Structures are given as structure tokens and as C-alpha cells.
Amino acid sequence: MISVNFLSKINQKLSRQQEKDNKIFKVLLVVFGVVFAIFLVVFASSFYLRYRLKSVKAQIEQAKKQINAEQQLEANYLFFVNKLVIIRELFDQRADKQIATGYFSNLLGPNIEISGLNYDMETSILSLTITSPHIFYLEDVFQALDDQEVKKNFATFEKSNLSRQMTGEYSFVLTVGFTDESELMTVETEYEE
């Protein structure tokens, strides 16, 4: 009787399988090691960032305390700047009136008097009462004012209320309006004084 031993074959097959398993295990061990290393890196980063955040927050608190200690100085400075901005605006608005009055005074000459003024700073409308000692000067005034070179300096330009006084003087109201584009108006003149 011939005896057949299958155990040797089975053992060989099993050994090959175990070797293969071992290889897979080693590869996966390396993969797991890499994943674990990534975990460690990420965890360390998170820990470091928490630490940095805490430290920056502490610095912020310290800086805030320092700023709070200077609260009065900051408030005074804010008022200072805000007031300067408004003063500059008021200068700008007022400059229209001052420059236009000076302009007409020069344009009309020494014989003509600006005897009245009304200025609305919010709408930038200026009304000047212009008085001429007699009719001949008045004609010169109208001629000067009708010049297109004069009119183009203002957004609106209107003459009204012409009247004659008992003394022979003539007066009328000249109303001019300003816009930002008014060519004549520049605040620099007042600042340079």
C-alpha cells in the first residue's frame, strides 16, 4: 500500500501564504507608521498654534490695556482732528464769499461800493448790494458784469432790484451761486493770508 503524505504540500502552501501575509503586514505597518506620523505632526501643529494663539491673545490684552490707559489722549486727538476737518470745511464755505467779494470789489473799481451782503453758507448763494454814485458808473458796472469771462466763474449769476435813491445813487442786487466747479473759487487764497 502506497502511503500519500499531503501534509508537506499543505505546509508549503501555508508557508507561502504566511510569507505573503508577512509582506503585506510590513507594507501596511509602514503605511500605518506614516499615518501615525502625520497624526503626530498635525497634533503638534494644533498644539503649537493653540499656544501661539494664547500668547498673541495675551499680547492683545496687554496692548488694549496700554491703549485704554491713553484713552483721554486718544479722545482729545479725535476731537482735535474732527474739529480741524470741520474748521477746514467752514473755511472752504466762507472762502467763496470772501473771494467773490474781493473779486467784485477789484472788478468794479474804487468808485463802486458793495454796500450790502447776504450769504447762505449751506446753499453757497451770495447776494451783494452794489451801489453806484451815479448813472454813468452804473453803465460801466453793467458792462463789466455782462462780460462772459466774469459770468463763467459762477454757477448762477443774476442782477435784480435796481433802484435809485434820493441822493442820485443807484443800487442793485447781484446774486451769484457757487459750485465745486466754480472756476474763481479756491480756498488757498484765505489760507495763504
Partner 1 sequence: MPLIDKGSDTNIKLFINNRKYLLLSILLVWGAVALMAFAIKPQVKLVFSLRNNLTQEKDQYQNLVRKINELKQIEISQQFQQSEKVNEVFPSHKPVLELLSNLYQAMQRADVTVSALKINPGEIATESAEVIIAEPAKATTKKSVATKEQKAYSALKLDLTVNGEQENVDEFLQLVERISPFTSIVELNIKKTFNQEKDRTVTEAELLLNTYYYTQNITSNISDQLPSVGEKELKAFNTIQQFMPSDFRPSTEIESADLEDLFGIKGLF
Footprint of partner 1 (CB under 8 A):
14, 17-18, 21-22, 24-25, 28-29, 31-32, 35-36, 38-39, 42-43, 45-46, 49-50, 52-53, 56-57, 59-60, 63-64, 66-68, 70-71, 73-88, 90-91, 94, 97-98, 113-121, 129, 187-188, 190-191, 193
Nearer to partner 1, 18 or 111 (CB): 18
Distance of alpha carbon 135 from alpha carbon 164, whole angstroms? 9
Please state the closest distance from residue 156 (CB atom) to partner 1, in A: 18
Helix then strand then coil, % of the chain, to nearest 5: 65, 15, 20
The 3-state DSSP class for residue 72 equals helix
Please state the closest distance from residue 144 (CB atom) to partner 1, in A: 21
The per-residue b/e assignment along 46-82, b for 16 or more CB within 10 angstroms, e otherwise, is eeeeeeeeeeeeeeeeeeeeeeeeeeeeeeeeeeeee
Nearer to partner 1, 75 or 107 (CB): 75
Nearer to partner 1, 67 or 135 (CB): 67
Please state the closest distance from residue 52 (CB atom) to partner 1, in A: 6
Distance of alpha carbon 150 from alpha carbon 110, whole angstroms? 18
